[in-house]
Structure 1
Amino acid sequence: MTEITTNAPARIDSPSKRIFKEFIEDRIAVVGLLLFVIVALIAIAAPWIAPQNPYDLAQLDIMDGALPPGEVSFATGQTYWLGTDQQGRDMVSAIMYGLRISLLVATVSLGLAITIGTIIGVVAAYFGGKLDSFIMRIVDLQLSFPAILIALILLALLGRGVDKVILALVIVQWAYYARTVRSSAIVERRKDYIDAARCLALSNRRIMFRHLLPNCVPPLIVVATVQIAQAIALEATLSFLGVGVPITEPSLGLLIANGYDYLLSGSYWISIFPGLALVVTIVAINLVGDRLRDVLNPRLQK
């Protein structure tokens, strides 16, 4: 009597589950993701967990100015674990509030730039012809100039302010997403499912945004992850140069600039600790972005 065995069909994971499993195989990327989550939570909860509001004059004491790390306040007895700046601001609290502004500017500008760039890229790829050529020449022209140069010119015209910085970063970044989406959409446009949608007399808008765009998301995620780190660095650079956010709404770049003049006098902590917070944030995002690039790009998978 022969025994008949049947092989159960292999279980196929969903794309999201596959991406998650491949992502957590890289421990360095997981550490980067955890660091970014911690930084984001600290920034969100800063008004509730910060020892003081560093920009409330009623909470500052000039006698606590430029205290080194670990010193105790003369007036309140509070321990300043990372020291204070020249105005008596607690550096721990200042960094928490600075992270809020830096992440706010980066995420809002990222969302607006992705929306604008994605729409323009899909439209250019779908219709092609002269419209595509015209849009791509504008993209090429913008990308030929350094982002910092364009942002400096825009802020010189617009003035200082969080909203002005966001607008400048949106104008600087949208071209990256337009080119990325357009490149993916051109490949997808030639596939059979687009021809089938046209045969069904679906509207151009539905074909572009219900059928074409979802297949262009993976490379868009990778570019967005890299660009948010660049947006944080660019905003910090602009604030350091004095053309970014105003002093009443400080970011990490402005905190670094405030302590730069005191480095040679020995008050290193005023500038060094915000700089370390900025580096940790950017490195954490880049670690996540590099791993997502490997997971979402089949050519880079082993």
Structure 2
Amino acid sequence: MSEPDPGLSSGAVVAEPETLHAPPPRLSSPLARLALDFCASRPAVAGLAVILVVAVAAIFAPLIVPQNPYDLAQLDIMDGTLPPGSPSYAFGTYWLGTDVQGRDMLSAIVYGLRISLLVGSVSVAFALVIGSAVGLVAAFFGGGLDSLLMRIVDIQLSFPAILVALILLAIFGNGVDKVIIALVIVQWAYYARAVRGSALVERRKEYIDAAVCLGLGTRRVLFGHLLPNCLPPLIVIATVQVAHAVALEATLSFLGVGVPITEPSLGLLIANGFEYMMSGRYWISFFPGVALVVVIVAINLVGDRLRDLLNPRLQR
């Protein structure tokens, strides 16, 4: 019979393998770490979920909602101003009621969200491209060109956005494309100033001097080296400006200078039911207003979380 190992006495502690206490593997991808940190915030995740649901509903609106609220063949004037939960002979139930023209409010809101998201995303995309190019050129070349471009930006930002948009739409007229053009003119200056501030910091670093000394073209230096290092503030500003553009489009449509009455818009839906609020038909304006607020709050929640993650000063 073999003797017991003296190292395994009753008072000895058996050493566990090092693999059991190995630290969890770190994510190598910065994008994966950003996604993991983003998901740590429940409000931000809830906001992103709302945005995704709204986007899917808006894109596939003809397949989801029971009625095209802007097809006169599907409307019945006898169903006008029905309260929420009223029965419908065509498709079951008006869950959110109807407006004066007999349009299903749920269908009208989903179709209105299509215009809001289209105007917000497209206007921000064009304003981002124009503003980023202006800011990069101003910071890279400096001198008189920088002063000229920044004075234009200062003049642009000195006027309220709603006032500039109203003046432009009074000149251009109604239309979705006109609203997008007006919002691009209103928003591009925000990106120009933000990009210039970040690019001035990056312009003094050695890698930019090295790229210039190597004889790389100006376009490659600007958009291949300088712009990628200015993206974090741009992402935050673009997210916030989408919410601003959605609210601004709804305001312009409410005032009657935005999209025409033949196009679905949350602002128009709110305006159409505003005069019926005092008579107790609250749902015509209330539910589109709630949808507008929910979308804007959801976008702002995502933007605030991205600001916390992409701002190095807030991470210290």
- The two structures have a TM-score, normalised by structure 2, of 0.91
Report the CA distance between 1:250 and its aligned residue: 2.0
Aligned to 2:285: 271
Report the CA distance between 1:38 and its aligned residue: 0.6
Q: Does 1:289 align with 2:309?
A: no
Q: Which amino acid aligns with 1:39?
A: V
Counterpart Cα distance in 1 of 2:58 and 2:90: 25
- The two structures have a TM-score, normalised by structure 1, of 0.95
User: Rg bigger for which structure?
Assistant: 2
Q: Does 1:131 align with 2:145?
A: yes
Say which SS state the counterpart of residue 245 (structure 1) adopts. Answer: coil
Within-5 A mapping of 1:100-111: 100-111=114-125
The gaps in structure 2 that reach 5 residues or longer are 1-17
Aligned to 1:79: 93
Report the CA distance between 1:12 and its aligned residue: 5.5
List per-residue Cα deviations over 1:154-193 (Å, max 9, x = no partner): 0011110001000000000000011111111110011000
Counterpart Cα distance in 2 of 1:106 and 1:32: 17
RMSD: 1.7
Pick closer, same or farther for the CA change 1:52–1:77 going to 2, 3 Å. Answer: closer
Q: Does 1:232 align with 2:246?
A: yes
Report the CA distance between 1:22 and its aligned residue: 1.2
The gaps in structure 1 that reach 5 residues or longer are none
Q: Which amino acid aligns with 2:35?
A: F
Counterpart Cα distance in 2 of 1:136 and 1:200: 29
List per-residue Cα deviations over 1:235-257 (Å, max 9, x = no partner): 00000000000011121111101
Report the CA distance between 1:76 and its aligned residue: 3.0
Counterpart Cα distance in 2 of 1:77 and 1:153: 43
Counterpart Cα distance in 1 of 2:170 and 2:257: 7
Counterpart Cα distance in 1 of 2:170 and 2:136: 32
Report the CA distance between 1:77 and its aligned residue: 6.1
Aligned to 2:49: 34
Report the CA distance between 1:226 and its aligned residue: 0.4
Which of residues 11, 14, 18 in structure 1 aligns to 2:33?
A: 18
Aligned to 2:220: 206
Pick closer, same or farther for the CA change 1:92–1:203 going to 2, 3 Å. Answer: same
Aligned to 1:190: 204
Which of residues 67, 70, 73 in structure 2 aligns to 1:52?
A: 67
Report the CA distance between 1:11 and its aligned residue: 4.0
Q: Does 1:120 align with 2:134?
A: yes
Counterpart Cα distance in 1 of 2:307 and 2:28: 20
Counterpart Cα distance in 2 of 1:275 and 1:296: 31
Aligned to 1:219: 233
Pick closer, same or farther for the CA change 1:11–1:273 going to 2, 3 Å. Answer: closer
Counterpart Cα distance in 2 of 1:196 and 1:101: 46
List per-residue Cα deviations over 1:197-247 (Å, max 9, x = no partner): 011011111101111111000110000000000000000000000000001
Aligned to 2:263: 249
Counterpart Cα distance in 2 of 1:77 and 1:174: 45
Counterpart Cα distance in 1 of 2:38 and 2:26: 19
Contact kept, 8 Å, 2:69 with 2:108, in 1: the verdict is: yes
The count of residues paired between Structure 1 and Structure 2 equals 297
Say which SS state the counterpart of residue 248 (structure 1) adopts. Answer: coil
Contact kept, 8 Å, 2:81 with 2:99, in 1: the verdict is: yes
List per-residue Cα deviations over 1:105-130 (Å, max 9, x = no partner): 11111111001111111111110110
Counterpart Cα distance in 2 of 1:264 and 1:205: 59
Q: Percent identity?
A: 72
